[in-house]
Amino acid sequence: MSISLFLDGAAGTTGLLIEDLLRRHHPEFEILHLSEDDRKDLAAKRALLAEAECAVLCLPDAAAMESAALADELGVRVLDASSAHRVSDGWAYGLPELDRGAQRHRISGAWRVANPGCYATGALLLLNPLSRAGLLRRNAHVPIFGISGYSGGGRAMLQRFERAGETLRTGSYTHDHEHKHVREIVRHSPLGRKPQFVPSVGAFERGMSVTITLGREALTDETDAVAVLKQYEQSYADEQFVQVRTAQPDDPNGLLMVDDVVGTNNAAVYCFDDGTDLTLVCHLDNLGKGASLAAIQNLNIMFGYPEGLGIDDQH
């Protein structure tokens, strides 16, 4: 028997993709959502929520908090794809690969799950295995640079870039390091110091690269690329959607492209050593592992389905 799923906010980029993929590729969920006329009608939302076994919230933060409270009142499980609850007590953080299975167990039994941010996903996949293994000093200076496709900015940014065509290039933002994903990284990693994070948006629709350069002073003695890659391989050996890449890029110009993860729920992690610093790189799709496909993975965990159901054929 299918699970009734109330999709609240199906008009945004994340919600649209979740609905499309579930309808086309997932046999176990029945999608419920409000009509355009009823989107802001609280009584209509309450009535539809009361029919659902789970609500997926793809809303601005303030609206997500309101819908989460209503779902809680009605006894409905929630997966929140906004950033409203990612550092909140009482919410399971929806990154199953966070800590070798323990987080997956938390998600499976949780009533409320917060889907992680895209940049935070990349940073945590790179940092947490090193912190757990004692390879990264707790108070290390951690500079993070990220670049995302413009779809990460939602419908407004999509429209801006698509109207402008090739006249818009790459631009960085939040230079005060107060990007909302920083608090996620701090909350869900063992770091003892807030990382320095500068995100950028590129003139391409989908895909993301997160890069962290660590000086030797940030690392414990004898930590090199071999030790880092070994730790990654141990941490992600049983993970379906995280691949450890050890080879240099095949591109003749040495370009490390994100193309092969676009349209998938995969994340690829790399480590390079120039003899002085280590460079860690994670590639993912900002709308895939960074949003909609991660949400479907979490729904599968919450309801006991195989994690790849509705995901495996998305390339």
Judge whether 211 and 198 are in contact, CB under 8 Å. Answer: no
The arrangement of strands across the sheet holding 196-202 comes to: 171-172, 196-202, 143-149, 208-214, 278-284, 267-273, 242-244
CA distances from residue 223 to 118, 122, 139, 272 in whole angstroms, order as listed:
27, 21, 16, 12
Burial, 88: exposed, middle or buried (Cβ in 10 Å; 0-12, 13-18, 19+)? middle
Coil, strand or helix at 98: helix
CB atoms within 10 A of CB 180: 15
Residue (of 125, 7, 132, 118) closest to 71 by Cα position: 7
Kindly name the residue from 54, 118, 271, 282 that is annotated as catalytic.
Answer: 118
118 counts as catalytic? yes
CA distances from residue 202 to 73, 154, 208 in whole angstroms, order as listed:
41, 14, 9
Active site amino acids: 118
